[in-house]
Amino acid sequence: MGWILRLVLICLVIRAILRLARGVVAGLREAASPPPAVPLVRDPVCGTFVVAANAPSFGTGTQMRFFCSEKCRRIYQAKLAQ
């Protein structure tokens, strides 16, 4: 009966070591290929760089401007109105 427990324990230890090794290999693969860069655009009012997909915008086509906040967008619109 004691040899069965030892065999089960050895199997569990081997399985744990294999899982650990797979995790290390997967982590090394992720570190080798960095995530793709996200393009940033500059806010014309305060100069902060923002992700265009998440930023408030103003204009159309090539005249599109992106802002870090609604406050900066309002300041820009007020400057254009003058």
Q: What is the pLDDT of residues 40-60, one digit of tens each?
A: 999 999 999 999 888 999 988
54 and 71 belong to one structural domain: yes
Domain with 45 in it: 40-81
45 and 30 belong to one structural domain: no
28 and 7 belong to one structural domain: yes
In sequence order, the 6+-apart residues with CB closer than 8 A to the CB of 43 are 49, 50, 55, 66, 67, 68, 72
Q: Is the pLDDT of residue 33 over 90?
A: no
State the pTM of this model: 0.55
45 and 77 belong to one structural domain: yes
57 and 26 belong to one structural domain: no
27 and 45 belong to one structural domain: no
28 and 3 belong to one structural domain: yes
Q: Is the pLDDT of residue 31 over 80?
A: no
CB atoms within 10 A of CB 46: 13
The total domain count for the chain is 2
